[in-house]
């Protein structure tokens, strides 16, 4: 059993050494695999980041109740009281146009530009938090329909609605990512398989002679399977490398943004397990590609 593994290791190292014999094809294949895997990886991280973001919103299905701009202060106070005392509302907070502007200034970073505005264009609003009992989409829309009838209220924005829409967009990206992954997997199998075919053709004579002296198909096949797996593995390493570069470039602007949203990090950080799965996926893809290619082309080589 030990001898068996030693043999496999030897073939693996021989394979590594042999890559030097066709470096351009090998490196090209590895880079193509790396870049191809990058795209679904980015989509995956985007979806995960979005999910992470909506999760942090979900705890508080707030509603923003915008008041009519020309509303007098006492009328506004009346509405505020009405909402505050409403049985289905647990919390209400008045946001004056000035506060709204401050907040917008902070989020947008448009310091100077806003100073040039003569008049504050933002209306006063009341942010309300429904009681826990009413925190489902159904109850929330009922509540909104009820409140929107109150005189002086201009518009009610249900944050959950927005979350739902956002989630459905995420769902679409997710489906696109899955479809893309499947298509890319096929493309990678074809590309890797083609490179393996090239290697087989380059070694036609070696294969022929090996078969002549009694090398089994399994023996002849083995190094090519290692090639495929190695391509997949190294390709995934290229993906990780590219992701690391992207992360370091985006780190600073993103962490500033994250502070604004009071999030520790906006971008989903894949776990070690997920990276491991990527490596495993890519390696097995390479192996499968090699197997298919070998099944197709090794049989064609018959000793003369």
Partner 1 sequence: MIQLDRVSKEYPGGHQALKDVSFTLDQGEMAFVLGHSGAGKSTLFKLITMIERPSTGRIVVDGQELHHLKESKIPALRREIGVIFQDHKLLYDRTVFDNVALPLIVIGMPDDEIRKRVRAALGKVGLSGKERAMPQTLSGGEQQRVGIARAVINRPNILLADEPTGNLDTDLSREIIDIFSDFNQVGVTVLIATHDLQQVERLKKRTIHLANGEIVPIAQAEPEEQQ
CB of 37 to partner 1, least distance (A): 34
CB of 214 to partner 1, least distance (A): 4
CB of 195 to partner 1, least distance (A): 20
- In the chain, % helix, strand, coil (3-state, to 5) comes to 75, 10, 20
| Of 69 and 303, CB closest to partner 1 | 303
| Of 3 and 112, CB closest to partner 1 | 3
| Of 271 and 304, CB closest to partner 1 | 304
CB atoms within 10 A of CB 20: 8
Backbone torsion region of residue 152, taken as left when φ is above 0, otherwise alpha when ψ lies between -120 and 50, otherwise beta? left
CB of 286 to partner 1, least distance (A): 24
Q: Binding residues for partner 1, per CB under 8 A?
A: 3, 7, 205-206, 208-217, 219, 302-304
| Of 202 and 263, CB closest to partner 1 | 202
CB of 228 to partner 1, least distance (A): 21
| Of 3 and 272, CB closest to partner 1 | 3
- Residue pair 286/33 in contact by the 8 Å Cβ criterion: yes
Question: What are the φ and ψ backbone dihedral angles of 116, each rounded to 5 degrees?
Answer: -80, -10
Instruction: Report the distance separating Cα 195 and Cα 179, nearest Å.
Output: 24
Instruction: Report the distance separating Cα 103 and Cα 22, nearest Å.
Output: 60
Residue of 243, 240, 224 whose CA lies nearest to 282:
240
| Of 20 and 149, CB closest to partner 1 | 20
Instruction: Report the distance separating Cα 65 and Cα 59, nearest Å.
Output: 19
Instruction: Report the distance separating Cα 40 and Cα 147, nearest Å.
Output: 44
- Residue pair 92/128 in contact by the 8 Å Cβ criterion: yes
CB of 30 to partner 1, least distance (A): 24
């Amino acid at each position: 059993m030990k001898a068996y593994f030693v043999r496999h290791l030897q073939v693996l190292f021989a394979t590594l050494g042999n890559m030097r014999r066709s470096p351009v094809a090998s490196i090209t294949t590895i880079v193509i695999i790396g870049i191809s895997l990058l795209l679904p990886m980015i989509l995956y991280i985007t979806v995960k980041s979005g999910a992470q973001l909506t999760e942090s919103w979900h705890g508080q299905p707030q509603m923003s109740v915008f008041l009519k701009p020309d509303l007098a202060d006492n009328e506004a106070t009346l509405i505020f009281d009405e909402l505050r005392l409403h049985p289905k509302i647990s919390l209400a907070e008045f946001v004056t146009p000035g506060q709204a502007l401050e907040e917008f200034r902070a989020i947008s970073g448009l310091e100077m530009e806003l100073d040039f505005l003569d008049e504050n264009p933002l209306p006063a609003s009341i942010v309300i938090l429904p009681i826990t009992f009413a925190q489902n989409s159904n109850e929330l829309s009922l509540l909104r329909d009820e409140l929107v009838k109150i005189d002086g209220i201009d518009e009610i924005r249900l944050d959950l609605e927005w979350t739902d829409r956002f989630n459905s967009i995420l769902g679409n990206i997710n489906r696109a990512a899955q479809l893309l992954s499947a298509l890319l997997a096929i493309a990678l199998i074809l590309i890797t398989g083609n490179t393996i075919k090239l290697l087989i053709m380059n070694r036609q004579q070696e294969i022929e002679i090996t078969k002549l002296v009694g090398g089994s198909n399994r023996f002849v096949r083995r190094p090519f399977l290692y090639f495929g797996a190695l391509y997949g593995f190294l390709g995934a390493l290229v993906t990780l490398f590219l992701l690391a570069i992207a992360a370091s470039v985006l780190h600073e602007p993103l962490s500033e943004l994250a502070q604004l949203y009071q999030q520790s990090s906006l971008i989903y950080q894949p776990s070690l397990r997920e990276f491991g799965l990527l490596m495993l996926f890519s390696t097995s893809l390479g192996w499968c590609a090699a197997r298919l290619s070998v099944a197709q082309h090794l049989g064609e080589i018959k000793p003369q």
